[in-house]
Structure 1
Amino acid sequence: MKALFDLAPRALRLLAPEEAHELTLRALELGAHPNAPPDPPMLATSFAGLTLSNPIGIAAGFDKDARVPDAILRLGCGFAEIGTVTPLPQPGNPKPRVFRLLHDHGVINRLGFNNSGHDAALERLRRRPRQGIVGVNIGANKDAADRIADYVRGIDTFYDVASYFTINISSPNTPGLRDLQDPAALRDLLTRVFASRTKQMDAGKPKRPIIVKLAPDIPEELLVEVLAVLTEQNVDGIAISNTTLSRHGLRDSNAREAGGLSGRPLFHRSTITLARVYRATGGRTPLIGIGGIDSGGAALAKIEAGATLVQLYTGLIYEGPSLIGRIKATMADAVRRHNVHAIGDLVGRRADEWAAKPLEG
């Protein structure tokens, strides 16, 4: 089965991107996947009060409707994240809306938070066994009169089934959504979201970590203000980054398509942004590194730039699920090579080096 699964990426590229994605989800729902062996203790990781067997997850967008979180964990991930999920179902933007960049090992998407809504995802999460770390990535409906209220509703709806929450205010495919990264709007958003969490905790429920996912395109001077708000509000983590609007260095003809760019072309920009955030926060706020991870070396670079956890998606499209195991092998080798106790001991060791690089390398 492992050999067949490793061949799948090439076969799936014969299908349209969304058809290939749906076929992958159905295979995972049916259990047609290899199960990973136990992780070595050196990969165990702590993040915002959570304990994970390894620092690897699959990014939001892969399992929008909570169809396969447990399959993701069985593939060898230390955590899963479902969503982005909005209160009401919405179809997203017109098709075609996902474009492979084969020459660049990237993807451009303008999906627009297509998902089946809170109720459908909640029902699936209620049915799953309460094992493993499964986060919920929440967003706002495109036509919401009060978008912040949609995020508050997400906290209230999923509080009993989420290991943590990711606040997605950085997708480029919902008009105006990135306006919530403006410091004043962000402060209002977090004040209301944390008030919702406090209400849940006052009822005797455990604290659920809240992570904010940022875009890689925030101007440097604005990023300083954004991080000041995140620090002031004591967010539990920051995810860096969502897709980019930059098209620097692309060769593929699909580069002209509108939408957010992910995959290998995002690696440089997102890793530099990650390192700059790590330095600006003094390493006190745990970070999730996302963007362009398609090898063990790329994942290790995220850790060394300041990430405690990493998330993949586009890399799996090109490399297949065996990428997860290869990343673990690289991380374990790095722990041994540097003569440290665990992968967490390598977090941020090259942050200064990465932060000094120009964004458009």
Structure 2
Amino acid sequence: MNPYDLLFRHVATRVPAELTHRVGVTALRAATPLLGGAGRGAPVEAVRAVQAMGLRFANPLGVAAGYDKDAEGVRGLARLGFGAVEVGTVTARPQPGNPRPRLFRLPADRALVNRMGFNNAGADVVAARLAEVRARGAGAVVGVNIGRSKTATDAVADYRYSARVLGPHADYVVVNVSSPNTPGLRDLQGVDALEPLLAAVRSEVGATPLLVKITADLDDDGVDAVADLAVAQGLDGIVATNTTVARTGLASPPDVVSAAGSGGLSGAPLVEPARAVLARLRERVGDRLTLVSVGGVDSGAEARARLDAGATLVQAYTGFVYGGPAWPRRVLEELT
């Protein structure tokens, strides 16, 4: 057992999950000048770079949206070895998110349950931070994931504002319509609602690559419909998948699962659903879109399985939380 595993098991699990996360992001930001090229080196650099959406990714492993909501740790995450950092989810206006506690661990499943509710500093603040990151050099491809403000009455206008403000500072933009923690958000995955929304965001971001993020809970017809729409509208890719509201097949005791309550489940339990959606998308769109696979990626072997199954890129969040700061390097070493 490595030192991080001991720290996580005996210290971190005794502290509320959101506080641990906050401390981690703060520490990463403070330590960035000291990291130097800590995430680099021969094993990492041996992983083949990926050309996708007109961008060059130093490697196919990225940080999924949700870890660095407010663009506070982009440069530090890049120095740990990630080839891409997806910031967000960011909304047009700042919002506090749902009441705490709202982030829970299921260690027996190497999983998390969250109902954060898009807590973030808002598009204007994040855009200013990203401008500074770009000026200093990010060290990785930077994506921005945008979502609907909880109080927005006009979803299209709300997303349009975020896209207008954040698009100039992003290497790519992801439209998130799949979080279970904003009431009514997943309704936007329906083609009738999604079509005008994507068209509006595209009009704001111009040539910046545009993707949509979908949930693991879509049925096959829903996946096909979103895939067909993405191709028809000239999107650059699909991020699959977001968290799930399902709770089947968990190893955690029922009382632990019940105590965590509602929200999106992430981590190892998403392996099979995420693989299934990836396979469906690959069959439907072939190589016409960049497919970013996320959900249960916790090792180099799993990352390789997704790439072999048709993903262009992979992302992780929960695997990184359980694996610690050395985890990206271990995954990339396994990929070599």
In structure 1, what is the Cα distance between the partners aligned to 2:75 and 2:154?
A: 33
Question: Offset of 1:159 from its aligned partner?
Answer: 2.2
Of 163, 183, 194, which aligns to 1:175?
183
Residue identity in the other structure for 2:57 = L
Question: Offset of 1:73 from its aligned partner?
Answer: 0.4
The residue that corresponds to 1:204 in the other structure is none
Q: Which moved more, 1:248-257 or 1:62-71?
A: 248-257
The residue that corresponds to 2:308 in the other structure is 304
- Whether the aligned pair in 1 keeps the contact of 2:250 and 2:269 (CA below 8 Å) is yes
The residue that corresponds to 2:131 in the other structure is 126
1:103-252 paired onto structure 2 within 5 Å? 103-128=108-133, 129-131=136-138, 132-198=140-206, 207-252=207-252
1:265-276 paired onto structure 2 within 5 Å? 265-276=269-280
In structure 1, what is the Cα distance between the partners aligned to 2:53 and 2:7?
A: 35
SS in 2 for 1:208: coil
Q: Deviations over 1:127-169 (max 9, x none)?
A: 2224431111111111101112111111110122111101111
- Whether the aligned pair in 1 keeps the contact of 2:168 and 2:205 (CA below 8 Å) is no
Correspondence 1:37 to 2:40 = yes
Question: Offset of 1:322 from its aligned partner?
Answer: 2.0
In structure 2, what is the Cα distance between the partners aligned to 1:42 and 1:100?
A: 31
- After TM superposition, the score normalised by the length of structure 1 is 0.85
Q: CA RMSD in A?
A: 1.6
In structure 2, what is the Cα distance between the partners aligned to 1:164 and 1:111?
A: 24
Size of the aligned set, in residue pairs, is 322
Of 66, 80, 85, which aligns to 1:75?
80
- Whether the aligned pair in 2 keeps the contact of 1:43 and 1:331 (CA below 8 Å) is no
The residue that corresponds to 1:326 in the other structure is 330
- Whether the aligned pair in 2 keeps the contact of 1:242 and 1:291 (CA below 8 Å) is yes
Q: Deviations over 1:107-139 (max 9, x none)?
A: 111111011111221221122224431111111
Of 258, 264, 270, which aligns to 2:268?
264
Q: Percent identity?
A: 41
In structure 2, what is the Cα distance between the partners aligned to 1:70 and 1:158?
A: 18
In structure 1, what is the Cα distance between the partners aligned to 2:74 and 2:5?
A: 20
Question: Offset of 1:222 from its aligned partner?
Answer: 2.2
The residue that corresponds to 2:298 in the other structure is 294
Correspondence 1:93 to 2:98 = yes
In structure 2, what is the Cα distance between the partners aligned to 1:263 and 1:71?
A: 23
Question: Offset of 1:99 from its aligned partner?
Answer: 1.3
The residue that corresponds to 1:254 in the other structure is 256
Q: Which moved more, 1:29-38 or 1:56-65?
A: 29-38
The residue that corresponds to 2:8 in the other structure is 9
In structure 2, what is the Cα distance between the partners aligned to 1:215 and 1:152?
A: 22
Question: Offset of 1:254 from its aligned partner?
Answer: 3.1
- Which consecutive aligned stretches of 4+ in structure 1 deviate over 4 angstroms post-superposition? 3-8
In structure 1, what is the Cα distance between the partners aligned to 2:115 and 2:188?
A: 19
In structure 1, what is the Cα distance between the partners aligned to 2:189 and 2:63?
A: 24
Q: Per the alignment, do residues 110 and 42 of structure 1 end up closer, same or farther by CA in structure 2, a change over 3 Å counting?
A: closer
In structure 2, what is the Cα distance between the partners aligned to 1:217 and 1:14?
A: 32
SS in 1 for 2:31: coil
The residue that corresponds to 1:281 in the other structure is 285
Question: Offset of 1:7 from its aligned partner?
Answer: 5.2
- Whether the aligned pair in 2 keeps the contact of 1:212 and 1:239 (CA below 8 Å) is yes
- Whether the aligned pair in 2 keeps the contact of 1:164 and 1:210 (CA below 8 Å) is yes
Structure 1 gap ranges (5+): 199-206, 333-361
In structure 2, what is the Cα distance between the partners aligned to 1:313 and 1:269?
A: 16
Question: Offset of 1:13 from its aligned partner?
Answer: 2.1
Q: Per the alignment, do residues 283 and 40 of structure 1 end up closer, same or farther by CA in structure 2, a change over 3 Å counting?
A: same
Q: Per the alignment, do residues 209 and 123 of structure 1 end up closer, same or farther by CA in structure 2, a change over 3 Å counting?
A: same
Q: Deviations over 1:74-107 (max 9, x none)?
A: 1100111111011111111111111111111111
Residue identity in the other structure for 1:125 = L
